[in-house]
Amino acid sequence: MSQYPDAKFILSANAPQQFLPDDGREVAVAGRSNAGKSSAINVIVNRRQFARTSKTPGRTQLVNFFSLGEDTRLVDLPGYGYSRVSDKRRQHWGSLLQTYFEDRSCLSGLILVVDVRRLLTDFDRQMLRLTQSVKLSAHVLLTKADKLKRGQASSALLQVQKELNGQASVQLFSALKRQGVDEAREVLEKFLSG
């Protein structure tokens, strides 16, 4: 059974004019290219290939809007830090993200997807600073936890928790093993209703 039976893809925006109307509540999913954002969305929403996943980094290049229910949405943001794109393209993503964060009053929370093996990168830190500057709650999913031994995953969690120092909540997650899904859904629900 899908957690969000009415969930559906609405549109991909390449420019702010294409963003959906700024009403209801929205939670954005961000992270480095290839971190596992689209996979995390699919597992949280409980739909296969709902958000398109890929072995090729930089797959999600547009701001993808999904509706979860009446007045609630999830947004799959383009991955940042993908090196094999032109500067022009990178600038375009940067300004698209910036505009999205600054102008979106329906935005109720950010889920930041981080590869547990890489820990926080400077891009992630920039993203967290951006959320702080607009007073947005953030939650970090340390994903691909299945790639580490249990002890290594726990110490990664502690390390990130320490660095975040209460700025954002954080958990271990695996789309592959469906680890941490309930916890992630609870956070999503809290953001969407809070």
Ligand X SMILES: Nc1nc2c(ncn2[C@@H]2O[C@H](COP(=O)(O)OP(=O)(O)OP(=O)(O)O)[C@@H](O)[C@H]2O)c(=O)[nH]1
Q: State the Cα–Cα distance between residues 29 and 24, nearest whole angstrom.
A: 17
Residue 139 contact among ligand X, Mg ion, none, beta carbon within 5 to 8 Å by kind:
none
Element containing residue 76 per DSSP (H, E): strand 72-76
Q: Which is nearer to ligand X, 35 or 184 (CB)?
A: 35
Residue 151 C-beta: closest distance to Mg ion, Å: 29
Question: Helix, strand, coil proportions of the chain in percent (round to 5)?
Answer: 35, 25, 40
CA dihedral 165, 169, 174, 178 (to 10 degrees): 150
**In the set 4, 60, 138, 168, which binds ligand X (CB under 6 A)?**
60
Interaction pattern, residues 132-171, with ligand X; x per rule: CB under 6 A: -----------xx-xx------------------------
| 34 makes contact with Mg ion (CB under 5 A) | no
Q: List beta partners, residue 72.
A: 25, 69
79 binds ligand X (CB under 6 A): yes
Residue 59 binds ligand X, judged by CB under 6 A: yes
Q: Is 53 in the site for ligand X (CB under 6 A)?
A: yes
How would DSSP label each residue in 117-131?
Answer: TT---HHHHHHHHHH
Q: Tokens in use for 41?
A: 């969305």
Chain residues in the site for ligand X (CB under 6 A): 31, 33-39, 53-55, 57-60, 79, 143-144, 146-147, 174-176
Chain residues in the site for Mg ion (CB under 5 A): 37-38, 59-60
